[in-house]
Amino acid sequence: MSTTSQASSKAGRLQDRVAIVTGSSSGMGRAIALALAREGARIVCADLKEEAAQHGFEEDKHIPTHTVITNNGGTSVFKKCDMGKPEEIYELIDFAVSTYSKLDILINNAGLWLPLRDFAVETDDMWDRIMGINGKGTAISMRQAIKQFLTQPVDPVSGCRGRIVNISSSAGIVAVAREATYGASKAAVSMLTRNAALDHAKDYININAVCPGVVRTALSSTNFQDPAIIKEMKKGTPWPRLGEPKDIANVVVFLCTDEAGWITGQNIAVDGGFTVGIPL
């Protein structure tokens, strides 16, 4: 089994905390779920289906994420959830609480990205689908998680009631050619993160976002199969390599730990310098 996918139940910084990770079957969501589990969190894996996308890049993509976790001594279950269907989001939050009696962490990773195209070529249906999942779906899951957090006491160890980490995008910070609607949806996620954090800081709820740059996942695999696009992506990324899912997972884990207890309302770019500027 791939060492990068190992998860264990040994005591960690998130021991026995309950985390939902949406879009957990592949890519960044899978890496995040596995990383949280390595720190001792109990994971509710949520996605359209258990199986990883077979056009992804994981070595062990034939094994579902929650099975990888349990095989390595962790605690995890799977719950189907379509982030474009509000009723399934409500059921996801209820399922996590009924299964583990509480909720400590929500990772809004699931999202929709469509292949690059000029804005004028996009359709009303594309707008509705992208905004419905990336925008509305994220908002609903945040709201339902916060409602649950408010029923829970402030944890005497962590000093908070709950944590939310949204996966936004560097495309929500700077304009990226041929990603107009996707960028608009992620800008909405980034601002929603800030506004919700402002409303609920008084409630001891941490809400932050991670804004990935170019990361090699199944979702972006069409880009990574085109040498010309890879060349252009590298030209726009100052760091001498493109991103991997673990780069995002490492920062998400930090934001879920007690070390990040006084951080809220932040959009943290994890992008190899993509949003800093164009390298020479």
Q: Which residues are catalytic?
A: 182
Contacts of 272 (CB under 8 A, 6+ apart): 213, 214, 237, 238, 239, 241, 242, 243
Contact in structure between 272 and 243 (CB atoms under 8 Å):
yes
Distance CA 234, CA 89 (A): 36
Query: Which pairing describes strands 42-47 and 18-22: parallel, antiparallel, or unpaired?
Result: parallel
> What Å distances lie between residue 260 and 13, 97, 142, 208, CA to CA?
11, 24, 19, 10
Closest Cα partner for 174 from 182, 183, 166, 165? 183
Q: What is the CA radius of gyration of the chain?
A: 18
Contact in structure between 105 and 17 (CB atoms under 8 Å):
yes
Closest Cα partner for 162 from 209, 104, 102, 248? 104
